[in-house]
Amino acid sequence: MNYNLSILEKDSSYISRIIDNYFNCDVLFSKKIGEGFYGGVYIVDIAKEPYRVAIKWYKHSGRNKREEKQLNLLRKHSLLKVPQTYFTHNQSEDIPCEALIMEYVEGVNAAQLPTNHINKEKFKDEMIGNLIHLHNISNEKGFGDGEQMFTDWKSCYGKRVKNLHRILHSEFKDSISPYVMKVADESLDAFDKIFAEPIKKSSLIHSDYNLWNILVDEKSAKITAIIDPLDAGWADKEIDLFHLQNADGDRFGLLKHYQSNTKLCELFEVKNAFYWFWDDIRHMKNMGWYNEERFTLFGEKLLILKQEYIGI
Ligand SMILES: Nc1ncnc2c1ncn2[C@@H]1O[C@H](COP(=O)(O)OP(=O)(O)OP(=O)(O)O)[C@@H](O)[C@H]1O
Ligand SMILES: [Mg+2]
C-alpha cells in the first residue's frame, strides 16, 4: 500500500491528532524539515516531555516498523548516537498514514559542511571509524535481515538480484532503455565471477550511510547522530561503501579514508559498481524513479570494470 503524504501539508490537524494519540498533549509548533524517496519528516514541539520530536511519515506501508527495528539494531552497536524511537503509528481512521515518532536530535545534515571545514579530518575519522566499527560486528547466523538468514552471501544477495532482474523484465521492459537492460542482463550473467571471492563473515551494515544521513553540529562538525537506514542488517560490508560516494561524499574522500583503514576484496571495484547499479534499479522498482543519463553512466562503468576485472 502507498500513501500520498500531501494530505499532511494541506491539513495540520493530522500532526495534532498523532501527538494527542500518543502523548495526550497539544502541539506548540510543527514544520516539515525533510522529504526523500520514501518519506517526509516533521519537527514537532509538544507541550510535555520530550518537548520536541521528529515524526517521519512513510509513502510505503510497513517501513515505519522496519525503520524502528533497524534504528534499534544500529543503536545497540553504534559508537555514534542513533535517535530513540518512541512510537510507530499504523493507518487508522483519523490518521490514514503510517509514521514513526522519534527523538529529535539537533544538527544539520553533513552534506552542508563546507569541504574546507577546519575539523574536516576529525569529522571523517568519526564517520568512517563508526562504519568500520559496525562492519566488524558479525552475526553467527550469517547474512540477511535478522529474520530470514542465509549461511552464505552469494545466495542471500543473489536471490535479491535475481528477483529484481525478473521484475525488470516483467514490469519495466518498456520504461528503461535497451542499453540499461543489457547491463542488467550481462552483469547478472557474470554474477558468479564478480562474487567469486567468498565473504567469510557477515557485517552489520547501515545501508544508506551517506552525508545526508549524518547529522552534525554545523560549527564543530561533531556528529550528533546517524539516521535513516533503509535495509540495515547482515551483509558483505562492501555493499555499504558506495553510499560513501553518494551525496558528493568524494569531496571529503570518504571511501578513500575507509579503504586506507581496512582491507577490501581484490574484486572490490567491480563489485562496488555492481552494487551501485543494482541499488538504483531497486529504487526504480520501489519508487518508479529513473534517470536515463545516470543509469547509462553507471551501466557503462559497470561493464568496463567487468571486462577489466574478470575479462568478460
Ligand atoms: N531524528 C531526527 N532528528 C532531527 N532531524 C531529523 C531526524 N530525522 C530526520 N531528520 C531530518 O530530516 C531529514 C530527512 O530525514 P531522513 O533522512 O530520515 O529521511 P529522508 O532521507 O527524507 O527519507 P528517505 O527515507 O526517503 O531517504 C534529515 O536530513 C534531517 O535533517
Ligand atoms: Mg535521508
Q: Is 233 in the pocket of ligand 1 (CB under 6 A)?
A: no
The pLDDT value recorded for residue 288 is 87
Amino acid at 94: D
Question: Mean of the per-residue pLDDT values for the chain?
Answer: 96
Q: Is 57 in the pocket of ligand 1 (CB under 6 A)?
A: no
- Tell me the per-residue pLDDT of 13-72, one tens digit each, with 9 for 90 and over: 999 999 999 999 999 999 999 998 889 999 999 999 999 999 999 999 999 999 999 999
Has residue 148 got a pLDDT over 90?
yes
The pLDDT value recorded for residue 90 is 96
- Tell me the per-residue pLDDT of 57-76, one tens digit each, with 9 for 90 and over: 999 999 999 999 999 999 99
Residue ranges with CB less than 5 Å from ion ligand 2: 36, 212-213, 228
The pLDDT value recorded for residue 32 is 95
Q: How far is the CA of 124 from the centre of ligand 1 (A)?
A: 20
- Tell me the per-residue pLDDT of 98-107, one tens digit each, with 9 for 90 and over: 999 999 999 9
Atom of ligand 1 nearest to the CA of 212: 29
Has residue 9 got a pLDDT over 90?
no
Q: Is 137 in the pocket of ligand 1 (CB under 6 A)?
A: no
Atom of ligand 1 nearest to the CA of 102: 1
Q: Which residues contact 267 (CB under 8 A, 6 or more apart)?
A: 194, 195, 196, 197, 309, 310
- Which residue among 3, 8, 32, 41 has the greatest number of ligand 1 atoms within 8 angstroms of its CB, and so is best to mutate? 41
Q: How far is the CA of 269 from the centre of ligand 1 (A)?
A: 30
Handedness of CA 47, 48, 49, 53 (dihedral sign): negative
Has residue 11 got a pLDDT over 90?
no
180: exposed, middle or buried (C-beta count within 10 Å: 0-12, 13-18, 19+)? buried
> What ligand has the least distance to the C-alpha of 43?
1
Q: Which three cell numbers stand for residue 198?
A: 567468498
Q: How far is the CA of 25 from the centre of ligand 2 (A)?
A: 28
The pLDDT value recorded for residue 43 is 98
Q: How far is the CA of 36 from the centre of ligand 1 (A)?
A: 8
What is the pLDDT averaged over residues 299-303? 98
Has residue 197 got a pLDDT over 90?
yes
Q: How far is the CA of 154 from the centre of ligand 1 (A)?
A: 32
Nearest to 73, CA basis, from 150, 141, 139, 152: 139
The pLDDT value recorded for residue 12 is 85
Q: Bridge partners of 170?
A: none
Q: Is 227 in the pocket of ligand 1 (CB under 6 A)?
A: yes
pTM of the model: 0.96
Closest-CA residue, ligand 1 atom 18, reads 228
The pLDDT value recorded for residue 312 is 87
HEC sequence for the chain: CECCCHHHHHCCHHHHHHHHHHHCCCEEEEEEEEECCCEEEEEEEECCCCCEEEEEEECECCHHHHHHHHHHHHHHHCCCCCCCEEEEECCCCCCCCEEEEEECCCCEEHHHCCCCCCCHHHHHHHHHHHHHHHHCCCCCCCEECCCCEECCHHHHHHHHHHHHHHHHHHHCCCCCCHHHHHHHHHHHHCHHHHCCCCCCCCEEECCCCCHHHEEECCCCCCEEEECCCCCCEEECHHHHCHHHCHHHHHHHCHHHHHHCCCCCCCCHHHHHHHHHHHHHHHHHHHHCCCCHHHHHHHHHHHHHHHHHHHCC
CATH numbers and ranges of domains, the chain:
6-103 (3.30.200.20), 108-310 (3.90.1200.10)
CA 264 and chain centroid, separation:
21
266: exposed, middle or buried (C-beta count within 10 Å: 0-12, 13-18, 19+)? exposed
Structure confidence at residue 230 as a pLDDT band (50, 70, 90): very high
Has residue 142 got a pLDDT over 90?
yes
Q: Give CA–CA dist 241/257, Å, rounded.
A: 11
Has residue 253 got a pLDDT over 90?
yes
Has residue 79 got a pLDDT over 90?
yes
Amino acid at 18: I
